[in-house]
């Protein structure tokens, strides 16, 4: 490492997908980057905020193919910070919401490299909001759960069963592969009529939304070819969505509402 290089690592939350939902602080951090490590869920348009001569390295996964393991990503962050100086680790959503950001920070810190975090707008809140779904609403929902659908051991989180017993809005990330299990847990609590929204590619130009109930949502997903990346929102607030109030009065839940 050249003596003049001062290593520094900044975790930047890229937001839910729409590049306009990157924070100003994130833009400023990228503008000073010598090297950027970015994930698949971080919109590549955001890389335009980094200097043209900065090194840009894709470290995410697409369609189940991992470019690098987490251990390799950790080491790449250290190696590139020591080589180039100012490194930005660009992560989708918020880096501390199921993004393994804290693991990365701890690893980098163990080498004595200064670290900083720029929070991002979490998709768990922004994607429903973009569709007019308020996760809390007076008289309807007093709280919300945000749960990962797939834990580190590839199983469904036990918290989903607990959430199904509550009156809270339930937001599940990375849960599409576990949808049948999720539905069964809510059916066990006699919540078959509870409204559900599944939003694919939230805040992006190719966003799709499927609307149903616990009892109908699997069929809705099949009919409309919904898949990951998608967010599952379960709760009465889905029915309260201003854009959908007329929709619920006129048609059954097993229809799909095109993005409006």
Known catalytic residue at 39? yes
What are the strands, taking DSSP E only, across 18-71? 35-38, 55-58, 61-62, 65-66
Mean pLDDT of 128-149: 93
Predicted pLDDT of residue 2 = 53
The closest alpha carbon to 27, from 42, 44, 14, belongs to: 14
Q: How confident is the model at residue 44 (pLDDT cuts 50, 70, 90)?
A: confident
* Token pair listed for 112: 């004595």
CA atoms of 133 and 58, how far apart (whole Å): 33
The closest alpha carbon to 43, from 64, 12, 66, belongs to: 12
Known catalytic residue at 94? no
Q: What is the pLDDT of residues 51-60, one digit of tens each?
A: 999 999 999 8
Q: How confident is the model at residue 241 (pLDDT cuts 50, 70, 90)?
A: confident
Q: From the candidates 174, 176, 191, 208, which is the catalytic residue?
A: 174
Mean pLDDT of 193-207: 96
Q: From the candidates 39, 77, 178, 191, which is the catalytic residue?
A: 39
| Mean pLDDT, all residues of the chain | 90
* Token pair listed for 157: 């989180």
Mean pLDDT of 196-222: 96
Predicted pLDDT of residue 257 = 47
Predicted pLDDT of residue 251 = 47
CA atoms of 44 and 47, how far apart (whole Å): 5
pLDDT of 106 above 70? yes
For 8, 229, 231, the CA distances from 177, given in Å and listed in that order, are: 37, 10, 12
CA atoms lying within 13 Å on the CB side of residue 219: 8
Q: From the candidates 61, 79, 159, 204, which is the catalytic residue?
A: 61
**Which residues touch 157 (CB under 8 Å, ≥6 apart)?**
147, 148, 149, 150, 151
The closest alpha carbon to 43, from 13, 18, 62, belongs to: 18
Known catalytic residue at 204? no
pLDDT of 260 above 50? no
Least-confidence region, from 25-29, 96-100, 191-195: 96-100
Percentage, residues of the chain above pLDDT 70 = 90
Predicted pLDDT of residue 158 = 93
Least-confidence region, from 62-66, 131-135, 245-249: 245-249
Mean pLDDT of 191-196: 96
The closest alpha carbon to 169, from 119, 240, 76, belongs to: 240
Higher pLDDT, 248 or 216: 216
Q: How confident is the model at residue 193 (pLDDT cuts 50, 70, 90)?
A: very high
Predicted pLDDT of residue 154 = 86
Q: What is the pLDDT of residues 74-86, one digit of tens each?
A: 999 999 999 999 9
């Amino acid at each position: 490492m050249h003596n003049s290089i001062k290593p520094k690592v900044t975790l930047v939350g890229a937001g839910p997908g729409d590049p306009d939902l990157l924070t100003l602080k994130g833009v400023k951090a990228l503008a000073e980057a010598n090297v950027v490590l970015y994930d698949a869920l971080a919109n590549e348009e955001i890389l335009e905020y980094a200097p043209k001569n900065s090194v840009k390295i894709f470290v995410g996964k697409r369609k189940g193919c991992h470019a690098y393991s987490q251990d390799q990503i950790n080491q790449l962050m250290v190696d590139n910070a020591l080589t180039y100086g100012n490194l930005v680790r660009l992560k989708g959503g918020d880096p501390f919401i199921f993004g393994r950001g804290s693991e990365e920070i701890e690893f980098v810190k163990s080498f004595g490299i200064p670290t900083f975090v720029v929070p991002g707008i979490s998709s768990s809140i922004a994607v429903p909001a973009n569709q007019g779904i308020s996760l809390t609403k007076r008289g309807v929902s007093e709280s919300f759960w945000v749960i990962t659908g797939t834990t580190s051991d590839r199983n469904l989180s036990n918290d989903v069963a607990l959430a199904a017993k509550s009156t809270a809005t339930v937001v599940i990330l990375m849960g599409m592969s576990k949808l049948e299990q999720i539905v069964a847990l809510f059916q066990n609590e006699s919540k078959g009529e509870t409204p559900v929204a599944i939003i694919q590619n939230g805040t992006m130009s190719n966003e799709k939304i499927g609307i149903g109930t616990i009892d109908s949502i699997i069929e809705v997903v099949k009919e409309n070819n919904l898949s990951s990346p998608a967010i599952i929102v379960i709760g009465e607030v889905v029915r309260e969505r201003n854009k959908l109030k007329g929709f619920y009065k006129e048609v059954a839940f097993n229809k799909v509402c095109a993005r409006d």
